[in-house]
């Protein structure tokens, strides 16, 4: 089990071997000094884990998170820390499903989406999917859907909406069609 520390709203891995192992075993985290490492040797701490990565790794028993006083924070404690993140429960549910299916899930912010997903990992392949998490009863303007589809098409990715209702997720993939 690797050790990480909650500093503010971030979780940091300081141990060099733990940072390299987490990155090499699943592309978890972002090394501060090398945002896009090309080789494993380029992964140097501190490694910053996202809230969703942290929750997943804690739930799987891979990472133990401590606060400044040395108190261990469990899954529920961390969930409370990040409770202000919109749709945290639903985003985590989708993140976990995608990770459990073997995809490498990263932030999709630069594509205007919640996630980008790789089949193999950053630096190995390009993310073929961008994913947005929506609630089943959430209203959406048609123009938002068109924008998301155009962005995804423009960067050669498939746009997927993960529609969450209760504890079920349905995935809808959109493809750009020119008549």
Q: What is the average per-residue pLDDT within 97-120?
A: 93
Question: Which residues are marked as active site?
Answer: 118, 126, 157
Q: Is the pLDDT of residue 106 over 90?
A: yes
Q: Are residues 73 and 99 in the same domain?
A: no
Give the chain's domain count.
Answer: 2
Q: Are residues 94 and 163 in the same domain?
A: yes
pLDDT tens-digit readout, 117-137: 999 888 788 889 999 999 999
Q: Is the pLDDT of residue 141 over 90?
A: no
pLDDT tens-digit readout, 53-102: 999 999 999 999 999 899 999 999 999 999 999 999 999 999 999 999 99
Q: Are residues 136 and 64 in the same domain?
A: no
Confidence category of residue 178, pLDDT binned at 50, 70, 90? low
In angstroms, the CA 27 to CA 41 distance is 14
Q: Are residues 109 and 54 in the same domain?
A: no
């Amino acid at each position: 089990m690797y050790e990480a520390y909650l500093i503010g709203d971030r979780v940091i891995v300081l141990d060099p071997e733990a940072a390299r192992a987490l990155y090499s075993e699943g592309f978890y985290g972002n090394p501060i000094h090398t945002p896009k490492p090309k080789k494993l040797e380029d992964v140097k701490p501190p490694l910053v884990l996202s809230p969703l990565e942290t929750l997943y790794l804690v739930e799987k028993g891979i990472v133990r998170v401590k606060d400044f006083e040395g108190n261990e924070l469990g899954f529920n404690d961390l969930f409370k820390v990040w409770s202000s993140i919109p749709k945290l429960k639903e985003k985590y549910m989708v993140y976990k499903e995608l990770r459990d299916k073997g995809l490498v899930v990263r932030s999709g912010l630069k594509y205007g989406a919640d996630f980008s997903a790789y089949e193999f990992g950053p630096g190995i392949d390009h993310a073929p999917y961008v994913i947005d998490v929506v609630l089943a009863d959430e209203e959406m303007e048609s123009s938002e859907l068109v924008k998301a589809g155009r962005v995804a098409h423009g960067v050669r990715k498939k746009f997927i909406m993960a529609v969450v209702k209760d504890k079920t997720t349905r995935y809808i993939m959109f493809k750009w069609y020119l008549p």
